Structure 1
Amino acid sequence: MLVGESNNKWEQIMRRRDKEIKERKEIDKIINRCTVCRLGMAKDNIPYIVPLSFAYDGLNIYFHTAKKGQKIEYINSNSQVCLEFETDIKLISDETSPCQWGFSFQTVFCQGMVTEITNKEKRVEALKLIIAHYSEKKWALDERMLKSVRVWQVSIKSWTGSSSKDR
């Protein structure tokens, strides 16, 4: 079930309604437990996906990049992106048939629009959120650090969750 737009292509993807995560609290928990998210982009009809460190504030995803690179080329070409989060991945095997193999997992898929954060205070705030996702220590961000990265925000338009835990 989508927590966001109701008439969306994502609804067509959720074939297995028995695995659907409907509770926003559960979707938030999955995202917050993840250490990596994957950002999917497209440019000139060519897909590109990359793993990212990130932060989540309940509405947006934040990440940083180098000053130049392929991610930026893709973002500049098409600001519509998707994100994937997964946790608790476990292979489930079967001694009698390879067709019975599968995975236990929890995953969230999001669609949204990415924009660069150029305001210095908002950039610092986003970077501190990213750092806080991985460390309880309060780190100082000096001007050299701030100048070495670009900071981005994905405004989530829709998301859906899926789980096959305890299969």
Structure 2
Amino acid sequence: MRRTDKEVRDQGWIDAVLTKALFCHLAINGDEYPCLVPMNFVWHEGRLILHSAPDGEKIRSLRKNPRVTFAVETDPELVTHTTACGYGMRYRSVIGQGTARFVEEYEEKNNLLKVLSKKYTSCKVDDFQLDKLAHVILFIITPTSLTGKNSGYPLER
């Protein structure tokens, strides 16, 4: 990272940003071009849990090459100034790399989909029916690297 003064390596800070972020940008090696997809996710036990429809370029590409890069950000805020060069952005972000693994077994898929659902809904989340789970792909990204960046905010969790 060029701006080492903004780099954050504290795992607690990184976990807090990954927990708070509402979506991630997932970069995949596509068929002809790189593929970049915004996705809902949950940070759970040191891994990203994501879900998708069972077909499409993203899934085909992940099956060919499970290595990914991802980015999340929280608290974006435009910083204004009296001159154009004085403008900037405040944000907290995490960029990571890792490997995706598809979840095939019913119990693991059901449990992780409940964890993902709890992040985005206030409804009671019961077990999912087997026929419903057949129409959803769930995958886990285990990071091999994580780097935080804090721009314009006090460094806190």
Q: Shared topology, TM-score over 0.5?
A: yes
In structure 2, what is the Cα distance between the partners aligned to 1:165 and 1:144? 47
CA RMSD of aligned residues (A): 1.6
State TM-score, norm by structure 2: 0.90
In structure 2, what is the Cα distance between the partners aligned to 1:150 and 1:44? 19
Residue 85 (structure 1) aligns with: 72
In structure 2, what is the Cα distance between the partners aligned to 1:161 and 1:27? 6
Residue 3 (structure 1) aligns with: none
Aligned partner (choices 37, 43, 53) of residue 56 of structure 1: 43
The aligned runs of 1:17-166 (5 Å cut-off) are 17-44=4-31, 46-96=33-83, 98-140=84-126, 141-166=128-153
The aligned runs of 1:4-19 (5 Å cut-off) are 14-19=1-6
State TM-score, norm by structure 1: 0.85
Aligned residue pairs, count: 153
Moved more, 131-140 or 108-117: 131-140
In structure 2, what is the Cα distance between the partners aligned to 1:60 and 1:29? 13
In structure 1, what is the Cα distance between the partners aligned to 2:147 and 2:139? 22
Segments of 5+ residues of structure 1 without an aligned counterpart are 1-13
**1:39–1:52 Cα contact (<8 Å) kept:** yes
| Structure 1 outlier segments of 4+, above 4 Å | none
Segments of 5+ residues of structure 2 without an aligned counterpart are none
User: Percent identical across equivalent pairs?
Assistant: 28
